[in-house]
Amino acid sequence: MTALLESLSNELAAAVETAGRAVVAIHARRRIPASGVSWRPGVIVATNHTIRRDDNITVTLPDGTSAPATLAGRDPSTDLAVLKLPGQSLASASLRRDGPPRVGELVIALGRPGARLTASWGIVSGVAGPWRTWQGGEIDSLLRLDLSIYDGFSGGPLIDAAGRVLGINTSGLARGAPVTIPVTTVDRTAAELLERGSIRRAYLGIGTQPVRVPQSLARRLELTNAMGLLIASVEPGGPADRDGVLLGDVLLALDGAEVSDPTDLLAKLGGDRVGRTVAARVIRGGQVKTLQVTPGERPERRAA
């Protein structure tokens, strides 16, 4: 038994050492540096909430030297940011792309909140399907972790026992609880950030809150779903305002799909909807009305 434990310990230490060659410290906020991963030559992936400034960013490399980096783009909705680090011979991470890990699988979170590499090990406590963040970002799978995430770990990798990267760890998407943004999501988001600097998403310029349609009205209107979204605010001059959406309307469906929660609306406003007219079914003055609305490209920090 002792020999088996010693062998496992050595294998895990070797995996940490190997994967750690692609983990850097990022100096883009006060106090403790954040972590980042060399995703491919010249490209560092990090978490958006730890990159507090757009300029004067430096990176501490695994050998202890420092180098300047430039921000290529950021996406608050998935909590990802991408930095460019040209001219450095830094090892790239070995990525595991054969699907999410299994519940109970042994995993290690790495960070470099300074010059030295740190590690925390545990298991995958939960795996679920795609989910959407409160800002509308689509994450390909939900990976919950049973391990400790220390200061500076956000932006670091989650690795398996072979040292392959499963995704990027963050405490910025689930109220401080550690979750991992899987490799597939990181690949997709990083590619668009490198190309455009931001993630293209549609928006209507409205604020909504769930509301239950009174039972008598729902019966009279022959609604199949008594839940909808009350239009609580309309941005002046925004897409919805230009197309006749009014404060107090109750949105029932967008493009034929029922909406009863703000996340339903966000799910319908992907980048492919920008400039594409869709039907919005609303209750107005006790009657059902269909409006034609054309979403615009969402500015940063807009919800819907």
Examine the residue annotation and report whether 141 is marked as an active-site residue of this protein.
no
Question: Do 52 and 71 form a contact (C-beta atoms < 8 A)?
Answer: no
Helices (H), the chain: 2-20, 183-196, 215-220, 239-242, 262-267
**Average pLDDT in the 236-244 region?**
95
**Average pLDDT in the 32-41 region?**
95
Q: Dig out the tokens for 164 from the structure.
A: 């392959």
CA dist 218 → 121, 247, 251, 286 (Å): 53, 20, 13, 10
Examine the residue annotation and report whether 27 is marked as an active-site residue of this protein.
no
Among candidate residues 35, 77, 79, 160, the one labeled active-site is: 79
Domains of the chain: 2-196 (2.40.10.120), 202-297 (2.30.42.10)
For 177-229, how does the pLDDT look when each residue is reduced to its tens digit (9 = 90+)? 788 999 999 999 999 999 999 888 889 999 999 999 999 999 999 998 889 99
Place of tokens 């300029």: 55
Q: Dig out the tokens for 223 from the structure.
A: 């609604």
What does the pLDDT read at residue 176?
Answer: 65
**Average pLDDT in the 249-268 region?**
90
Among candidate residues 27, 35, 38, 49, the one labeled active-site is: 49
What does the pLDDT read at residue 304?
Answer: 56
Lowest mean pLDDT among 36-50, 98-112, 171-185, 285-299: 171-185
**Average pLDDT in the 61-82 region?**
95
CB-CB neighbours of 225 under 10 Å: 12
Place of tokens 């897409």: 239
The span from the CA of 24 to the CA of 243, in Å, is: 48
The pLDDT-based confidence of 303 (bands split at 50, 70, 90) is very low
For 259-301, how does the pLDDT look when each residue is reduced to its tens digit (9 = 90+)? 998 888 888 888 888 999 999 999 999 999 999 999 998 876 5
What does the pLDDT read at residue 300?
Answer: 64
The pLDDT-based confidence of 74 (bands split at 50, 70, 90) is very high
Q: Which residues pair with 227 in a beta bridge?
A: 212
- Residues across the chain: 304
For 146-177, how does the pLDDT look when each residue is reduced to its tens digit (9 = 90+)? 998 788 899 999 999 999 999 999 988 877 67
Lowest mean pLDDT among 1-5, 109-113, 195-199: 1-5
For 116-146, how does the pLDDT look when each residue is reduced to its tens digit (9 = 90+)? 999 999 999 999 999 888 777 889 999 989 9
Among candidate residues 154, 160, 260, 264, the one labeled active-site is: 154
Examine the residue annotation and report whether 154 is marked as an active-site residue of this protein.
yes
What does the pLDDT read at residue 301?
Answer: 54
Is the per-residue pLDDT at 98 higher than 60? yes
Is the per-residue pLDDT at 252 higher than 50? yes
Max distance between CA atoms of the chain, in angstroms, equals 76
**Average pLDDT in the 100-106 region?**
94
